[in-house]
Structure 1
C-alpha cells in the first residue's frame, strides 16, 4: 500500500497579473467589489499653444479678429466589473477533516488565482475593447508586434502601460531583448518602459478581438494603460456541518474571492507569429 505524503508545493508564475506590473489593493468595502467607475485620467491630450503675437502670423496693426481657441477635453467615465473566482475541494469524510479540506482549497486558490484572473480579464475586457492592429497581410514578428502596440498606446496615453503576453509567447520576447528585467522591482519591461505581464491564463485563452481563437503558430498580444486590481477577502463556504452531504458522506468546501480589475484609455491588440 502506498504511503500518503504531503502534496508537492507550487509557486505562482512570478510575472503574472498579481505581481509587480499591477497595483493590487486588498479591500473590504463590499460596494467596491460590486464594480467601480471613475473619470479617466491621462487620456486627454496636452496641446502646445502658440501665441499669435509672437509668430509670423501676428496681425500687427490690424484687428486681431477671432481669438485663438484652446481645446478642452471632457474626461470620459470608465468602469470595471467584478470577477469572482472559486476553488472547490471534495473528498470522503473518512480520513479527511473539515480543516484539511479548507487548507487544500486555500492552497489551490493561492496557486491558481492568477491563472483564473488572467483568463477572466482577457476574455471579459481585452478581447471586448481592443483595437486590432494586425495588418491585412497577417501576423507579424513579436518585435514588430510589440512596437505597434507601444505606438498605439503612446498615441493616446502618456504614461507607463502594461503589455499582456501569453506564457507560450514569452520566450520570444527574450531572444530579441524586447524585454529586460528591472533589478529594483524584478518586473519585465520594454525599452520604452512599459511593464509586461506574462500570463498562463492568457495562454489558455489566446483569443483575439471578438473572441476569435488564434491560428496554430500565432499568438495575440495586448497592451493597456495601468492595471489596478481591487481584491476582496477570501471566503470559505460553507461552515463545518453544512459541508457534508449525508447521502454520500462526502465533504465539499469552496473558497471564493471577488476581484475588480480596471485599466484606462486604449486597449490595442496584434497577432504575432510564434514559430518560423
Structure 2
C-alpha cells in the first residue's frame, strides 16, 4: 500500500529494557490460567518474623533454678512467638487497543498490531502500575528532614531497612533516570551467571522505564526537580494471565457508524511482594 510517493513497510520493532520487572532474574514470573489466582491472592508472610537467640538460664550460675525455659514467669527463660501476618496482592489489568479504518486494516492485522503493542509495552505498563498501586502506597519514607540523599547514601539506607525487616535478598527498584550513577559509583554490578544486576550486599536491582515515568514518592507525591525516588521490597512473584482479545471475531470489531475497526488485547497480572517497602529520595 502506498502513502503518496512513500512505500508502506512493516513497523519498527523494539526490545523491552533488559533489567525491567519482567526481564530480570530478580523476579519470578508465573504464567497462570487459573482465574481465581488472577482475581488476587493472599498468603501468610514468611521470613518477616525475626529469629531470636536464647540462653538457657539453667546454665547460668545465678539462675534461680526454678525457671522453666520458655515457660517461666520472668523474662529470663521466656521465648517470644511471632504470629505471621496475612499479605495479599491485587490484580492489575493492562491493555492495548488498535483502531483504524476497516477499509485499511483487516481484523488479523489489527489484532496482530494490538498484540505486538502489548508485548512491547507490558513491562513499562506493569512497572508504572506496580509503582502506583504498591510502592507509593505502602512505603516507609527514609528521607531525612534535611532533604534528598546522594544515591549511594540512599541505596545504603534502603538496604539497611530491608536487612532489619527481612534479612533475605530484596529488590531495589530504580527509575531509569537514576540508573547511571549506580554504575559510576559501583553500586550495582551485573551477575555474569544470571545477567541480573546486584548490589554489593547481594540485593537485586530492577531498572524500570515505567518507574521513571512515574517518579513519585509515598502518597504519589511528585519528585522535586533533579531528584528521584528509589524503593526496596522483598522478593517479587508475578502471576501473569493469558492475553485476551476483544472481540474474538472480525465482524464485531467494526463500528458500522464510523466504519472504524477496534481490537483490544488485555492481560491481567498479580504482583506479590513481602514484609516491607521502604523509600528514599535521592539527588540525580
TM range (shorter): over 0.9
Deviation of 1:93 after TM superposition, in Å, equals 1.5
Which of 227, 241, 246 is equivalent to 1:232? 241
Deviation of 1:54 after TM superposition, in Å, equals 2.2
Moved more, 62-71 or 12-21: 62-71
Which of 159, 166, 171 is equivalent to 2:180? 171
Deviation of 1:57 after TM superposition, in Å, equals 3.8
Name the counterpart of 2:9: 5
1:180-236 C-alpha deviation (Å, 9 max, x unpaired): 000111000001111011000000100000110000000000000001100000001
Which of 91, 111, 117 is equivalent to 2:120? 111
Contact 2:175 2:229 in 1 (8 A): yes
Pairs aligned (count):
272
Which of 265, 269, 283 is equivalent to 1:255? 265
Contact 2:57 2:67 in 1 (8 A): no
Q: For residues 248 and 48 of structure 1, do their structure 2 counterparts lie closer, same or farther at Cα, with a shift above 3 Å needed?
A: same
Gaps of 5+ in 2: none
Q: After superposition, where does 1:1-276 map in structure 2 within 5 Å? A: 1-19=5-23, 20-59=25-64, 63-64=66-67, 66=72, 68-238=77-247, 239-274=249-284
Distance in structure 2 (CA, Å) of the matches to 1:164 and 1:64 = 48
TM-score, normalized by length of structure 2? 0.94
Moved more, 67-76 or 222-231: 67-76
Distance in structure 1 (CA, Å) of the matches to 2:62 and 2:187 = 45
Contact 2:40 2:91 in 1 (8 A): yes
Segments ≥4 residues shifted beyond 4 Å: 62-65
Q: For residues 87 and 64 of structure 1, do their structure 2 counterparts lie closer, same or farther at Cα, with a shift above 3 Å needed?
A: closer
Distance in structure 1 (CA, Å) of the matches to 2:103 and 2:7 = 16
Give the CA RMSD over aligned residues.
1.1
TM-score, normalized by length of structure 1? 0.96
Secondary structure of the residue aligned to 1:220 is strand
1:41-74 C-alpha deviation (Å, 9 max, x unpaired): 0000000011112235433xx5448361100000
Moved more, 74-83 or 244-253: 244-253
